[in-house]
Amino acid sequence: MKRKTDVRQGTLALMVLKTLDVLGSLHGYGIARRIEQISGDLLSVNQGTLYPVLLRLEQEGAILSAWGPSENNRRARFYRLTRAGRKSLEAEKRGWEQTASIIARFLEVKADDLA
């Protein structure tokens, strides 16, 4: 049986940053939902793993959080991107794109290309 891909912390952090970048202020559940929607079922289990990542980003100063009312008028903690967070998102994005393109090129490689 093939194991479902574990979301690595770094990846998850990037997804969180991107989500907040696009959607502005969101609470934890909202972030989890968006990531689930975009990534398919990548985060359909163990949604809780999101929270240590959020804390970490907050301690790094990439995001800020504050209590606020949710859509159902529940108390929820809302997260939003800081300027430092936006910068680090840009940096991470470039890094990923680079990695991805390199890997992609490798996967395209055929025997005669290397001859």
Partner 1 sequence: MRTLRRSLARLLNFTVNRRGGERLREEIESHIAAQTDENIRAGMAHHEARRQACLKFGAAAALTQDYNAEKGLPFVENLLLDIRYSLRVLRKSPAFTVVALITLMLGIGANVVVFGVVNAVLLQPLDVKDPQSLYQLRHKRWMSGRLLTTSYPALEDFRQQNTTFSGLAGVYGYSNATLNWHNTALKVHGDEVTGNYFDLLGVYPRAGRLFRDGDENGPGSAPYVVLSDTLWRRVFQSDPGVVGATVDLNKHPFTVIGVAPPGFHGAERFVWPDYWIPMANQAQIDKSDYLHSRTAVTVTVLGRLKPGVTPQQATDNLNAISAELARIYPETDDGQPLRLIHSGLYGDNGDVIRGFLWSVTVLALLVLTAACANLATLFAARAADRGRELALRVALGSSRLRLVRQLLTEAVIVSLMGGAAGVVGAQLLLRLLNRSQPFVGALTVNVDARVYLAGLIFTLASALLFGMAPVRQVGRGTPLRMMKNGPPGAPRLRHVAMRDLLLGAQIAICTLLITASLVAVRGMVRVLRAPLGFQPRGAMLVELGDIPADKKKPVIEAARTIPGVTSAGMVNRTPMTGGIHGIPIFRAGVNDFKLNNSALSSYVFQMSPGYLEAAGTRLLTGRDFSWHDTADSPRVGIVNQSFARRMWGEAPPIGKCFVVSGNLTEVVGVAETGKYHDMEESPQPAVYLPLSQSEQSEAAFVVRSQRPPGEMAAALQRTLSGIQPNTPVAVLSWPDALSDVLFPARAATVALGIMGLLAAMLAVTGIFGMANYSVSRRMKELGVRMALGARRRQVISAAVGRPMVLLALGSLLGLLTGVLTSRLLQQIVYQANPGDPAIVGGAVLTMALLGAAASAIPALRALAVDPSKLMRED
**Is the distance from CB of 73 to CB of 66 less than 8 angstroms?**
no
- What x/- string results for residues 24 through 63 when contact with partner 1 is judged by CB under 8 A? ---xxx--x-----------xxxxxx-xx--xx--xxxx-
- Interface residues for partner 1 in 84-103 (CB under 8 A)? 84, 88
Q: Does 73 bind partner 1 (CB under 8 A)?
A: no
- For residue 105, the tally of other CB atoms under 10 A from its CB is 10
| CA distances (Å), origin 107, targets 3, 47, 93 | 22, 32, 21
**Is the distance from CB of 82 to CB of 63 less than 8 angstroms?**
yes
The residue (of 59 and 108) whose beta carbon lies closer to partner 1 is 59
- Residues interacting with partner 1, by CB under 8 A? 27-29, 32, 44-49, 51-52, 55-56, 59-62, 70, 72, 74-77, 84, 88
